[in-house]
Amino acid sequence: MLTGLKNAFGIKDLRSKILFTAGMLVVYRFGAHLPVPGVPFQGMMNLFGGNGSVASGAMALLNLFSGGALKYVSVFSLGIMPYITSSIILQLLQSVVPSLHELSREGEVGQTKITQYSRYLTLGLAVLNSIGYLFLFKSYGVSFNGAGAPEAIFDIMVVGTLVAGAMLIMWIGELITQRGIGNGMSLIIFANIMAGLPQAIVSSSSAGLKGIIVTIVVFVVILLVIPLIVFIERGQRRIPVQYAKRVVGRRIMGGQSTYLPIKVNTAGVVPIIFASALLYFPAQIAVFFPGIDFIQTAAGALSAGWLNWVLNVVFIVFFAYFYTSMVFNPDDTADNLKKQGGFIPGVRPGRATAAYIKNALNKITLPSAVFLAVIAIVPSVVFSFTGNRLIQSFGGTSVLIMVGVVLDTIAKVESQLKMYDYDGFFK
């Protein structure tokens, strides 16, 4: 492990990418604590503190996804969720809008166009969210004005700053993906989770002997669960493939046996992120109607409680199948095997091969989806009975996302190391 890190920093190009990624995350965390001009800082702290405050229910979920930035009404208060929500909407539309589906199959050019649409949609969602937050905070008596200027000027400044912050987060994430190491959006979510961990530990440990015991138990359970998560993340179903011999010029090609690897958890942590974003959406809508009780009650019920747990399970299983079908197409795989002279022993090429692969994919997707749902839901259920903030901030969803992001980042670093004939982190 240490040798791998030494080798990584010994390569100039890889070292630059790692330092660039770290620098961008530092900039992001700085923006998460930089208040919007004209915001009464102490008033916002009081608004999010104590029982019965805005921090309860739906707003607690919004604050958690922003890495605590919403509590300070910082430049990055909107967090990364507008971009994730826009990505979900476009991916869902690709399955129902033929033109978008064809665009997604056009390779890099099509993906560039879809990314552009996603940016425009992110901008629209950011404008709506920022206006909603403005009305929400005003309904709780927070006034954004000062220096004798008209309140409308400060309203425009607050909305404009929040929108600019959301677009800057999107830009930082894309920069990390292009010039750094790992997926930028995933690393930003990782940074948000880690940012709330120290405060959650202190809050849990300060609750007397019971709090200390709960804190120790939580960390012991996490240490036991992490190997299981890694096992599921790395697990594969290997379908044997045989290539027929063929003569190309004077050479005999094919004739070897290999396998088609299918990950047990093909979708990764995407189903959890997508499910959380959908359940987060009613909380976004609720900020536009702070004075309407039934909307606030509905948003709170969808953000926590038994309804949230049931919908979480349903959405996670649905998105596990949905995203897997998007990233792994059995028909295309079967067609490529047929063109290359490959076949699965005992299965006819073409449609029969596609059906066989699809059946195998469905069989391994269900247990992995159920595993994701259990890991995501159990900590929420435990938190509802204990009220321990550490369980809420560092529960199953957080651990899954963190482990998934770390494994993905390590895999990318290892691939870079092997390009320079270095050993990776694990031999």
Q: Residues near 408 by Cβ (< 8 Å), separated by ≥ 6? A: 182, 183, 186, 268
Please, what's the largest Cα pairwise distance for the chain? 87
Domains of the chain plus CATH, in order, are 2-419 (1.10.3370.10)
Q: Work out the end-to-end distance of the chain between its first and last CA atoms, rounded to an integer number of angstroms.
A: 9
pTM assigned to the model: 0.76
Q: What is the pLDDT of residue 91?
A: 79
Q: Using an 8 Å Cβ cutoff, are 282 and 238 in contact?
A: no
Q: How high is the pLDDT of residue 155?
A: 81
Q: pLDDT at position 46, please?
A: 54
Name the burial class of residue 44, with classes exposed (0-12), middle (13-18) and buried (19+) by CB atoms within 10 angstroms of its CB. buried
181, with CB counted inside 10 A (0-12, 13-18, 19+), is: buried
| pLDDT less than 50: residues of the chain | 50-57
User: 169 to each of 78, 181, 279, 316, 400, how far by Cα in Å?
Assistant: 9, 17, 21, 26, 22
SS3 252: strand
User: Using an 8 Å Cβ cutoff, are 255 and 245 in contact?
Assistant: yes
SS3 content of the chain, % helix, strand, coil (to 5): 70, 5, 25
Measure the CA–CA gap between 133 and 242, rounded to whole angstroms: 59
**What was the pLDDT predicted at 252?**
61
Say if CB 160 and CB 352 are below 8 A apart.
no
